[in-house]
Chain A
Amino acid sequence: MPKILTPSNQTRIYLFCSFIVFGLSAFPASAQTAEQKGLDIAKAAQAYDEGFGDFTADMVMTLKTRKGDTSTRNIRIRTLEVQGDGDKSLSIFDEPNDVKGTAMLTYSHGLEPDDQWLYLPALKKVKRINSRNKSGPFMGSTFAFEDLSSQEVEKYTYKLIGEESCGDWQCFVTERVPAYKHSGYTRQVAWIDKEGYRMMKVEYYDRKKALLKTLTTDSFQQYLGHYWRPSTMDMINHQNGKSTRLEWKNYQFQTGLSDRDFRSQALKRLK
């Protein structure tokens, strides 16, 4: 007759169950999975940045080839925070001169495809564009569209893989796997500081799982006594040697922008 449960087995099971119950109630953090911790950090980072309302800024983008040749783009950015959805954002191009007056409007939506319109001043035409091309380069730079888009929590699945110092701060190191379609990446590793949830560094791994690019941010400024924004962002492509530097200037928060300023047909009147 087979022994289904010996007293010792029963004891072990009891002990095991009580450990789980005890463990969960007494030490919630330690029993959390790395995935849960990663998600919590992403949620905390999003919560930290909520309430900024809107901002405007000037962006100077310097593209550098492997040989060291450079070219510059000047873009004005206007962003409106949208509660419960991705932000609305306007990019107005001032340089190079042949694209002066071109404007791009994006309504970003977490996992759903973004709505995107382009105003072409030569034709005086507002054109709805297909936003499915997330992995394509932005203006010939090493930044892809997906690198510059609004970072909603649901866009990735997360995993906390470590904690280490990053410059003067302590950082969470989290792995993010894009949950949206058509990403050019299999995963990203992000260094996020524990205090102000500043994204200090991101490594991007391509579809073959090889390291493709590294983003490093620098010279963070705090606005409205709370929100951190970097003054420079450098994106290096390790595979082709190209790099792009973004310099952010003239950040202004809560400037009074509203939905009215982010209508597709209002693109025509931007100067």
Chain B
Amino acid sequence: MTLHLEGGLARGTLAIDMDLAVGRETVALVGPNGAGKSTTLKLIAGLLRLDRGSLRCDDDVWDDGAGRFTVSEDRRVAWLPQDPLLFPHLDVLSNVAFGPRSRGASRTDASQLATAMLERLDLGRFAARKPETLSGGEARKVAIARALVTRPRVLLLDEPFAGIDVSAAVDLRKELASCFADFDGPVILVTHAAVDAFMLADRIAVVECGRRVQIGTAEALGAAPATRYVADLVGLNFLRGRVHDGLLTLDDGGTLVVAHPVEGPVTATIHPRAVSLHLSRPDGSPRNVWSTTVTSVEPSPGSARVRVEGPIPLVAEITHAAVRTLSLRPGSAVFVAVKATEITLTPV
């Protein structure tokens, strides 16, 4: 089962031009706010029409950008927006039974299906409750039950963890992971949190300004990030410039000695662990050494991420012990060293 989306639409300042093929897998759509992720989900759900291009699910053409358009109610796409949108006038059971009822199931059958689905997700005790009495995490799970009970062909989730507390998010993440594993079709998950994308998705599609700039596994993205956003996402330093004769001249100023036999415009990535910090000028193998100032020190489990300012702003990942030994704090003067062989170049 495969979903193909090519093309897009223009709405005011947002222009979407998407190229996405999702099989029986989970793809995370990540990207900055306003990149068109939610709009892409609405296109697939049939709540918006393509201006041009096509949207197909297997052999069914859902939208050809012209006359052919399958209305949302006939697509069997589960759409889970950020707001769970449980019908406030119906109790939890009736909310979950709404889909089967709409698709022609009798009252008894719909109710049985809904009860079974609530039990499966361990939500049986909420059946008679009104949505307003549920917590954010509970409402989110009920919305998932309501979507899954319709036996959808495609599952779309928009920021499933937004606005719920941390412990509920942990619980929900587990729940979703098992739902995705059981689900026999394309799952598309919109998120801005890298951790969710890495934990839940098989592949990550990065969307910027309405376009899919890169798609691949987390490893593939990390190996050759296409944009600064992707590099930030995977935690890498990302630079652009032009190589001539083993010397990389950066677009934003500064030069670096590089080891790869590449010429012309490139993107360069440096892993934060490959950036070392020193109190005095190191005299050793590193070919790139310069002095600068620390702008921030962010502790993270096992290590700390230290940002340094220009001429080449970078992030260095060092141990907590090193932070203490060097007594680093914002404003500390340091020498930065990067080995030429640690700079990965990708021609563009």
Q: Do A and B come from one complex?
A: no
